């Protein structure tokens, strides 16, 4: 039987640069209730920032659009965060996830966003369709204090 989350948050935000901080802050507040360690919280904040930044910058290219965030917390300390956009999509997800790969020609991006999401979580899945959008699914196990 599939376990139901003990708490859940759904958040829809317009793809504005300032909403990177809003998304990070809201997920952070949601997770705080589950008593994470300082490191766990910092990791989650960082991973969420990278995903939302990608939606703002790459998916919508700084044009109007919406970002859908869904966070779920389970009894065993498992946290899942899903960040979805309806932007341009990624033609080759495996290539996009390669460390240092970036389509940014301005030299502003490091190409390390997915690598950061990967290293700061316990699981990362990315699904995307060109012209349809991108969904980033992350999970992390909060280690409970004995």
Active site residues: 50, 54, 109
Cβ–Cβ under 8 Å, residues 44 and 29: no
Q: Which of ligand ADP, Mg ion, none has residue 138 at its interface (CB below 5 to 8 Å by kind)? A: none
Strands, DSSP E only, in 19-109?
66-73, 78-85
Residue nearest to ligand ADP as judged by C-beta position: 113
Which value, to the nearest 10 degrees, does the dihedral of the CA atoms of residues 145, 77, 43, 129 take? 170
**Cα separations (Å) of 77 from 53, 73, 97?**
26, 7, 27
Select 34 or 97, whichever has its Cβ closest to Mg ion: 97
Would you say 60 or 74 has its CB closer to ligand ADP? Answer: 60
Q: Which positions lie near Mg ion, rule CB under 5 A?
A: 54, 113
Write down the least CB distance from residue 96 to ligand ADP, Å: 3
State the CB neighbour count (10 A cutoff) for residue 9. Answer: 16
CA 126/CA 105 separation, integer angstroms: 23
Q: Which of residues 9-68 bind ligand ADP (CB under 6 A)?
A: 50, 54-55, 58-59
Residues 99-138 that bind ligand ADP (CB under 6 A): 101-104, 109-114, 134
Report the interface residues with ligand ADP, using CB under 6 A: 50, 54-55, 58-59, 85, 87-88, 90, 96, 101-104, 109-114, 134
């Amino acid at each position: 039987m599939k376990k139901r989350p003990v708490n859940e948050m759904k958040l829809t935000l317009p793809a504005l640069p300032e909403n990177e901080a809003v998304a990070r802050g809201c997920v952070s507040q949601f997770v705080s209730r589950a008593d994470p360690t300082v490191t766990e919280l910092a990791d989650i904040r960082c991973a969420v920032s990278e995903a939302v930044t990608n939606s703002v910058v790459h998916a919508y290219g700084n044009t109007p659009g919406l970002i859908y965030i869904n966070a779920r917390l389970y009894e065993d300390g498992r946290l899942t965060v899903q960040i979805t956009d309806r932007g341009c999509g990624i033609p080759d997800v495996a290539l996009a996830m390669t460390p240092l790969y970036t389509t940014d020609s301005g030299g502003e991006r490091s190409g390390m966003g997915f690598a950061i999401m990967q290293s700061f979580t316990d699981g990362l899945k990315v699904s995307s369709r060109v012209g349809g959008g991108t969904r980033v699914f992350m999970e992390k196990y909060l280690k409970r204090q004995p």
